[in-house]
Amino acid sequence: MTAFATNVERIVSGVWSTPWLMGWFEPAVEPTVGTLDAVDWGRLDWWWACLAVPAAIAATLWANRARRRGRAALGRPDLVARLIGSVHHGNRLAQAVCVTLAFGCMGAALMRPQYGGKATVIPASGLDVVLAVDYSKSMLAPDVYPTRSERLEAELARFLDDASRRGDRIGVVVFAGAARGFPVTADVRLLKTYLQAADPRTEKPGGTAIGRALRLGLEFLVDARKGDADDVEGTAGDAKEIPPAQNDQAIILLTDGEDTESRPLDAAKEAAKLGVRVYTVGIGSKSGEPVQKFDDEGKPDGFVTDEQGNYIMTRLDSTLLEELAKLTGGRFVHVDPDHFGLDEVRDLLEGLSRSRRDVSIEILRDEGFSFFVIPALLLLVIALALPERRRRVSP
């Protein structure tokens, strides 16, 4: 028996060690996420739907109490007992339990449970671009249909969608008399949300500070360079030292070009030293349009006038925009009612050098709402199918 067992063990070991059988039983190693280790909820803002469970319990208790009071009000307990003798109290309780559990399952399904999935590293090859967007009140002029700002929003939406497909990292600077912005990122959805909150009617202080916008855009691009350098070297470098860019960087300035106080030409010279190209997109007409005035609620309230009562006009300063682009090796593009300016800028960006980097990890999770919807439907079917009264046995 010992020799026989030894031979059997050798045969089984030899068959198991064959490559085709080992490959059959040993799964390929893939970047997966554990089912129970990574349960996520896609719509936690629907948590209040689970309040239907305590509401159903409270309604059931209230109904039982109301029935007891109703029976007591009828009098003649012996007669009432005969009338309700066929009522199936067990099924009635089971119905209440099924409906309550169904509400709980539907509430959990509305919160979109997600589990497992595969983690995918998404390689991106693209540029670092900052959109400097003019949101001064002069951008409300209707010389570009329907207004300068509305035309600008349409162009930005198209540009951001196209940049996402190319794998570009985008930053946004919104400016009027001051500049604020969102740093360079690959998440276009965040940028769209940020831009939706911008409105020329509410931007303060007034004015058009192109120089401030360019300097803030340069800060974002320098921070992106330092971040790339830290990823490569693994350690943070000297904060005063600006590393070279791994790919070309650009600022796209969208404005009517009227600036008298923020020294935009000095900012353009700083961009040229850093190798950052500035592409200027002029929005508006050269003939000029009156600047609208708005009340505290953001509604039109006439036009802005000077001390003499003359209307203040806003017009495209193409000379300044052309000079800004020329200093940095960029180009000037004029937006008129029949020309979509950012399409031309996008074509110009295609000629710049791009780097390849792993910028994000996308986890494609499996949707688990069906694990709650199907039981909820079954529970409701069971609740409807349960009879409330016992069958009478005929004599």
Give the per-residue pLDDT at 375.
Answer: 92
Which residues, 6 or more positions from 283, have their beta carbon under 8 angstroms from its beta carbon?
134, 139, 144, 148, 151, 152, 254, 255, 256, 316, 335, 341
Q: Is residue 4 part of a domain?
A: no
- Each residue's pLDDT tens digit, 245-292: 777 899 999 887 677 677 899 999 999 999 999 999 887 666 656 666
Contact 306, 247 (CB under 8 A): no
Give the per-residue pLDDT at 120.
Answer: 61
Sort 26 into a burial class: Cβ within 10 Å, 0-12 / 13-18 / 19+: exposed
* Of 35 and 183, more confident: 183
**Into how many domains does the chain fold?**
2
Whether 144 and 103 map to the same domain: the answer is: no
Rounded Cα gap, residues 53 and 99, in angstroms: 9
Whether 260 and 240 map to the same domain: the answer is: yes
Q: Is residue 360 part of a domain?
A: no
Whether 197 and 102 map to the same domain: the answer is: no
Give the per-residue pLDDT at 17.
Answer: 43
**Phi (first) and psi of residue 173, to 5 degrees:** -125, 120
Give the per-residue pLDDT at 360.
Answer: 58
Domain residues for the domain of 98 are 40-116+367-385
- Each residue's pLDDT tens digit, 95-128: 999 999 999 999 999 988 888 777 665 555 578 8
Contact 250, 352 (CB under 8 A): yes
Whether 189 and 103 map to the same domain: the answer is: no
pLDDT range class, residue 220, cuts 50, 70, 90: very high
pLDDT range class, residue 142, cuts 50, 70, 90: low
Q: Is residue 28 part of a domain?
A: no
Rounded Cα gap, residues 326 and 333, in angstroms: 12
- Each residue's pLDDT tens digit, 351-393: 775 555 555 566 667 788 888 999 999 999 999 998 877 766 5
Q: Report CA torsion sign: 63, 68, 72, 75.
A: positive
Whether 108 and 226 map to the same domain: the answer is: no
Whether 53 and 146 map to the same domain: the answer is: no
Give the per-residue pLDDT at 279.
Answer: 93
Contact 140, 284 (CB under 8 A): no
Give the per-residue pLDDT at 57.
Answer: 93
Q: What percent of the chain has pLDDT over 70?
A: 67
Query: Which residue from 187, 173, 159 is spatially nearest to 217, judged by alpha carbons?
Result: 173
Rounded Cα gap, residues 12 and 54, in angstroms: 59
Q: What percent of the chain has pLDDT over 90?
A: 23
How are beta strands 169-175 and 300-303 bridged, if at all?
A: unpaired
- Which stretch of 81-95, 171-185, 371-385 has the lowest confidence by average pLDDT? 81-95
Give the per-residue pLDDT at 293.
Answer: 61
Whether 147 and 291 map to the same domain: the answer is: yes
Q: CA dist 306 to 287, 290, 294, 300, Å?
A: 19, 11, 16, 18
Q: Is residue 394 part of a domain?
A: no
Tell me the three-class secondary structure of 230-262, residue by residue: HHHHCCCCCCCCCCCCCCCEEEEEEECCCCCCC
Q: Is residue 24 part of a domain?
A: no
How are beta strands 249-255 and 128-134 bridged, if at all?
A: parallel
Whether 209 and 230 map to the same domain: the answer is: yes
Q: Is residue 30 part of a domain?
A: no
Q: Is residue 2 part of a domain?
A: no
| DSSP bridge pairs for 289 | 314
Whether 189 and 331 map to the same domain: the answer is: yes
**pLDDT over 90 (residue 217):** yes
- Each residue's pLDDT tens digit, 290-317: 666 656 655 656 666 666 766 666 667 7
DSSP 8-state secondary structure symbol assigned to residue 201: T
Average pLDDT score over the chain: 75
Query: Which residue from 151, 147, 126 is spatially nearest to 281, judged by alpha carbons?
Result: 151
Whether 199 and 286 map to the same domain: the answer is: yes
pLDDT range class, residue 83, cuts 50, 70, 90: confident
Whether 302 and 341 map to the same domain: the answer is: yes
Whether 105 and 151 map to the same domain: the answer is: no
Terminal C-alpha separation, the chain? 72
CATH number of the domain enclosing 291: 3.40.50.410
Strands, E, within 58-168: which ranges? Answer: 113-126, 128-134
Q: CA dist 349 to 78, 168, 254, 342, Å?
A: 91, 11, 15, 10
**pLDDT over 90 (residue 192):** no
Q: Is residue 123 part of a domain?
A: no
Average pLDDT over residues 133-138: 78
- Each residue's pLDDT tens digit, 50-81: 899 999 999 989 988 888 887 777 777 777 77
